[in-house]
Amino acid sequence: MSMVQAPLPVVEGERGSSSAAGGPTGRRRFRWATARPWLLLAPALVILATLMLWPLVQVVIFSLQNYGLREINTGRSNWIGLGNYVEALSDPTLWTVVLPNTVGLAVVSVFTTVVVGTLVALLLARLGPVWRTIVASCVMIAWAMPAVTGTYVWIWIFDADHGIFNSVLQDLGLIHGQVNWFTNRWAFFAIVLLNIVHHGFPFVAVTILAGLLGVNKEMLEAAAIDGAGAWRRFWKIVFPTLKPVFSVVIILSTIWDFKVFAQVFLMPGGDGSNRSVLNLGVWSYVESFGQNRFGFGSALAVLLTLVLLGITAIYVRALMKEDEL
């Protein structure tokens, strides 16, 4: 005689809990799970908005005014709309001096910094752990040095009266007498380039070194056995693997080198007295705090920000297209 077990009755509370995922309780849990990350990020977002977004909004507001000492003393606004932007874009100085200096220096600086940093990273990757740590620590000293301190060191090296560079050239008989390298536009930016590269290549080197240590060594050894040289191994194996790392390094270097200020302003003649070496950052500062034209200087700062955003957007878009392929 077979006994058929009757199904157990379903308790009402259990039925409610089994369907809770689609009920009010489930929706509340879903909303809480969605909101929780934003609540955790809220303090940092508030700080970023206060320290970065609000000053940017203020600069945009100032750029739409004829804002000077009179407006600071009276507290009144003198709105002129896009007048500052029209004046800046119609000024020949922007197109013949400032923009070429800004873009040219940034492009050459980024390229040179990435190349030097990559070569140093390849050198560090070939060293043993002990020597790698020692050399990397020495390299990071240049990055830890403040930009102001490093700039004054380069000024001292190329000083016309007591500089080491002039002394060496005089001893070699290449020059006679004192030469002021800061009065020539090309020599000025060559010194600025050395300063920027010296200060920036350690970050590139250490960042790329971290990626190099993760490259598959078996692939490199197999390529070497097949007869591939160091140059071919780099472009066919190392570079594709480290492409995301190079992307981050290039974007950050572009942002830093486009808005370079101290390395230009502190050089002799870079404070605006030599108009042929102005860049956007220095021109904005000179107009704001030298001529007390804070509205016009703010407009120049906004233009610099737009240039940076445009270049970064174009570069990121190009990278996305390559990934889609």
Q: What does the pLDDT read at residue 218?
A: 80
Q: H or E segment at 12?
A: helix 12-18
Q: Which pLDDT value is given to residue 118?
A: 93
Tens-place pLDDT, residues 5-24: 545 444 444 444 444 445 66
Higher-confidence residue of 1 and 56: namely 56
Query: What's the whole-number mean pLDDT along residues 291-312?
Result: 89
Residue 198: what pLDDT?
A: 92
- Express each pLDDT in 182-220 by its tens digit: 999 999 999 999 999 999 999 999 999 988 888 877 887
Specify the residue for token string 């489930």.
26
Q: What is the pLDDT of residue 221?
A: 79
User: For residue 262, what are the contacts with CB-CB under 8 A and spacing of at least 6?
Assistant: 147, 148, 151
Q: Give the integer Cα–Cα distance in Å for 220 and 140.
A: 28
Got the DSSP string for 167-181?
HHHHHTTS--S---T
Identify which of 23-32, 41-50, 116-125 has the greatest average pLDDT.
Answer: 116-125
Q: What is the pLDDT of residue 16?
A: 46
pLDDT at residue 82, as a whole number: 92
Q: Which pLDDT value is given to residue 286?
A: 93
Mean confidence (pLDDT) of the chain: 84
The DSSP code for 98 is: I
Contacts of 121 (CB under 8 A, 6+ apart): 204, 205, 206, 207, 208, 209, 212
Confidence tier at 322 by pLDDT (50, 70, 90): low
C-beta separation of 106 from 253 below 8 A: no
pLDDT computed for residue 26 by the predictor: 66
CA 99 to each of CA 112, 185, 205, 281, 283: distance values in angstroms, whole numbers, following the listed order? 20, 14, 29, 10, 10
> pLDDT-derived band of residue 174, with 50, 70 and 90 as boundaries?
confident
Question: Distance of CA 44 to CAs 32, 39, 101, 206, 283, Å?
Answer: 19, 10, 36, 28, 33
pLDDT exceeds cutoff 90 at 114: yes
- Split at pLDDT 50, 70, 90, the class of 157 is very high
Smallest CA-to-CA distance from 283 within 99, 154, 133 is with 99
Longest dimension (CA), the chain: 122
* 218: helix, strand or coil: helix
Alpha carbons within 13 A on the beta-carbon side of 241: 17
The gap between the terminal CA atoms of the chain, to the nearest Å, is 71
Angstrom distances, CA of residue 323 to CA of 190, 208, 296: 36, 20, 41
238 vs 125: CA distance, rounded Å: 12
Taking the model in full, what pTM does it have? 0.81
Indicate the domain borders of the chain.
33-63, 83-324
The CATH architecture of the domain made up of 83-324 is Orthogonal Bundle (1.10)
Residue linked to tokens 């692939």: 219
Q: Could you tell me which of 273, 253, 271, 255 has the C-alpha nearest to residue 263?
A: 271
What type of residue is 305?
Answer: T
pLDDT reported for residue 323 = 60
pLDDT(324) > 80: no
